Structure 1
Amino acid sequence: MAIRRHRERHLVQRIGWLRAAVLGANDGILSTASLIVGVAAANADRTTVLLTGISGLAAGALSMAAGEYVSVSSQADTERADIARETAELSDEPEAERQELAAIYRQRGLDHDLSLQVADQLMAHDALGAHLRDELGISEDLTARPVQAALASAASFATGAIVPVLMTLLFGGRSLVVAVMAVTLVLLAATGAIGARAGGASQMRGAIRVVFWGALAMAVTAAIGHLFGTQV
């Protein structure tokens, strides 16, 4: 009788790309919308507002990609250094590493003899993998992927930012300010809820906290634009 394989996919497997995607989308929507709202509130013409939005989209997407790549690359460098160190220790002091792994299993509830048996079997199968996973917490699902994170950040930022940019083609003047703020708050609520659901958290809480900070940011930029636009 054939054995049916049972494969589970847990929420933690989404952390790498989910964090970058949600952060990028929220940042793209909010920063570009705030930029457009601030410039529009200063009574700038439609061409200026549109160029401002496009510039914000391009600069923000590249900035997010670069920042995410550098950040995750640093994490990857640290992981590689730990892997090299662990490889050397396994080669130079295999018994000490065996005892160290067994001690980890005893802390998790195994008795002395069983912990040594488990350590022996796991090290016989994949000594480095066992130490990376159980001693250092490095696994395939959580390993750093700089390029993936950078592309996800840039794409999600651009996807979010394109909405307020396109709205400059449909509205103008004060109506643009109101329309962009309204649509942006709806989109922020949606991305906050989606991110929370994908991460297994409360959708309502995720939406509320994003909307709050989004409304605050746009209110501040609108006030600044109105103040300086009136003075000019």
Structure 2
Amino acid sequence: MPVEPPPTPWHFGDAARFPDDDDLVAIGADLEPGTLLAAYRRGLFPMPSGRRRDPPYWFCPVRRGVLPLGGGPHGGLVVSRSLRRSLRDFEVRVDTACAEVVDACADPRRPQGWIDDDVRAAYLRLHDLGWVHSVEAWQGERLVGGLYGVAVGGLFAGESMFHRVRDASKVALVGLVDLLLAGTDPATRGERLLDVQWSTPHLASLGVVEVERADYLAALPRALALPAAPAFAG
């Protein structure tokens, strides 16, 4: 079972007072495990400002990217014929190389990289406590793609993904959705949340949709109250 860290001394404010036209809703606090968990339970996530010594920036997007988990065998994930063929070329593993996945996502050669040393250390501390998980795509003994995120009850908050060969990150995403649905009550699948923060054209092609902030925050308590998927329950 995940280990609950000491509570945070910080307060993130009333969501009703968040700006209606700005995804950035708070600045400050820290990246301690208790602070991070409190933020995700309130619908926020951190990102660095890009300037050294700045405190964390906390976001709650006005339009949140989510991948619906109700519906067919892969929820709302769009699995193309070519991707379905690619699935045979990879092995999906969970939590066997979390640090390597985070490091690959943090590779400074990637465009628009945002994971700095403080973020890396913070999420690996949460991994050690059982809250952060990696879903990995392997070819033999080579890690070729993956993703990581925070699992709290029925919420999986995806943070970042990477690939070194074609379709590897998509395979990891298919693996994540399958893990989130496996062994869960079909009646509550639609209440589970796979949060991807912001939608992009690429993610939209895979089935990601945008929901209003108020709708996301209204759905969040129901998701948090659900038991974690077996793969992420410790």
Is the shorter-chain TM-score for this pair beyond 0.5, marking a shared fold? no
Pairwise TM-score range, normalised by the shorter structure: under 0.3
Q: Report the structure number with the largest CA radius of gyration.
A: 1
Give the structure-1-normalised TM-score: 0.22
Q: Which protein has the bigger helix share?
A: 1
Give the structure-2-normalised TM-score: 0.22
* Higher relative contact order (Cα pairs below 8 Å, separated by 6+ residues): 1
Q: Which protein has the bigger strand share?
A: 2
